[in-house]
Amino acid sequence: MEKKKGRGFTLIELLVVIAIIGILMAILFPLLARAKENARAATCLSNMKQLIVAFRMYIQDYDGYGPP
């Protein structure tokens, strides 16, 4: 009987690779969620600063009177 040449992956090798990918995903998903939340907070802070600048410009244009 002839032996087949070892050109493919064994089941164990595939399971190990899938397990490693699963572990990496479990580590990275919380980090990505935290980064997304930090980006939202930074965007919110930037928008609030822009509103303050616009409010101050309005007051300067209308001699110290705020918006109605």
DSSP 63: T
Residue 60 vs residues 50, 63, 64, 65, 68: alpha-carbon distances, Å:
15, 5, 6, 8, 15
Please determine, for residue 1, whether its predicted confidence score (pLDDT) is greater than 60: no
**pTM for this entry:** 0.59
pLDDT of residue 3: 63
Mind listing the pLDDT tens digit for each residue in 7-55?
788 999 999 999 999 999 999 999 999 999 999 999 999 999 999 999 9
